[in-house]
Amino acid sequence: MRDKTILVIDDDEQMRHLVQSLMEQEGARVITAPEGESALRQFYRHRPDLVIVDMMMPLISGWEVCRRIRELSDVPMMMLTAVQGDQETIRALALGCDDYVTKPFCPSVLVARARVLLRRSNLEHEPHPGCSYHDGYLTVDLDAQCVRVEGEPVRLTPTEFALLSMLVRRAGKVCTFAQIIDQLWPEGVGGSEAAVHTYIWQLRQKLERDPHNPQYLIGLRDRGYRFDPLSAEKLSTFS
C-alpha cells in the first residue's frame, strides 16, 4: 500500500481513526471525510487509489456516494457497514463496489482485503499482450484495457474487469469457482461462489444482448464459467 492514497468515509469518528491508523501502518496516505458531501469534494481533489465508505451516513448515504463516484471513475471501492444481508451485499456490488465488509471486522482481514483491491487495480492497468476479442458486437481489448459493446465504451469495475480478463484469456475453457476465487481474492478473503455469481450477473447486464440468454458468459452448474467466442453460426443469429 506504500504511496497509495486511500479515502475513508465514515460518520463515526472512532471508526475513521481506526481505519486510518490501520492503512497508515501499511504505508498508505489516508484522507478522511465524516459525511458524503465532503467525501465527494475530497475525492475530486485527491483522486484516491481506493475508497472505503460507510453505508449509513447523514445527508448523503454511502449508496449515493458510491453511485456518484462510479459515474466518474473505476477506482476500487469497499463498502464498510454494520448492515448485514445478501440483499445489501448484492446492492453494493450492483452499484459498483468491489467488496463489502461488515462491522465489527478483524483489522488484519480489512487490511488484506484492501491489499487485494489495490493489487487487482494495478493488474488491470498492466498490459496483457495478445489478449483481445472482437466479433462486431463485443470488443475486449486487454492491451488497451478497453471494452466496447456496439462500438460504445463500457465501464467496468476493477473486479469485473479482472474476472472478464481471466475468462477471455481462457476463452472456450472452464474457469472453476476455485480458480476464479483464487485469482480474484488471492489473500483468501472476500471470495465466494455467491460473489462470483453476482459479478457474472453484472457483466451479463453490461455485455450481453440478452442477459437472461447469455451468449458469451456461460455458466456450468456447480463448476464455474467460461467465455464463449461467438461462432459463425451464432453470429448469423445474433445480428
Q: What is the per-residue pLDDT across 35-59, written as a single tens digit (0 to 9) for each?
A: 989 999 999 999 999 999 998 887 8
Q: State the CB neighbour count (10 A cutoff) for residue 133.
A: 19
Kindly give, in sequence order, each residue whose CB lies less than 8 Å from that of residue 160, ignoring residues fewer than 6 positions away: 199, 202, 203, 206
Distance CA 202, CA 132 (A): 20
Q: How does DSSP assign 94-117, residue by residue?
A: HTT-SEEEESS--HHHHHHHHHHH
Band (pLDDT 50/70/90 cuts) for residue 73 is confident
Whether 81 has a pLDDT exceeding 70, the answer reads yes
Q: How does DSSP assign 40-95, residue by residue?
A: HHHHHHH--SEEEEES--SSS-HHHHHHHHHHH----EEEEES---HHHHHHHHHT
Q: Which three cell numbers stand for residue 77?
A: 471501492
Tell me what pLDDT residue 194 has. Answer: 86
Band (pLDDT 50/70/90 cuts) for residue 187 is low
Kindly give, in sequence order, each residue whose CB lies less than 8 Å from that of residue 122, ignoring residues fewer than 6 positions away: none
Band (pLDDT 50/70/90 cuts) for residue 182 is confident
Band (pLDDT 50/70/90 cuts) for residue 132 is confident
Residues 165-192, mean pLDDT to the nearest whole number: 85
Class of the domain covering 146-238? mainly alpha
Tell me what pLDDT residue 197 has. Answer: 92
Residues 183/166, Cβ–Cβ less than 8 Å = yes
Q: What is the per-residue pLDDT across 213-230, written as a single tens digit (0 to 9) for each?
A: 999 999 998 899 999 987
Whether 90 has a pLDDT exceeding 80, the answer reads no
Class of the domain covering 5-124? alpha beta
Distance CA 35, CA 62 (A): 9
Better-predicted residue by pLDDT, 101 or 94: 101
Q: What is the per-residue pLDDT across 133-178, written as a single tens digit (0 to 9) for each?
A: 888 899 998 878 889 999 899 988 888 998 999 999 899 899 999 9
Write down the pTM of the prediction.
0.65
Q: What is the per-residue pLDDT across 6-28, written as a single tens digit (0 to 9) for each?
A: 999 999 999 999 999 999 999 99
Residue percentage of the chain with pLDDT more than 90:
47
Chain-centroid distance of CA 126 in Å reads: 16
Whether 111 has a pLDDT exceeding 80, the answer reads yes
Tell me what pLDDT residue 236 has. Answer: 39
Average predicted confidence (pLDDT) for the chain = 85
- Boundaries of every domain in the chain: 5-124, 146-238
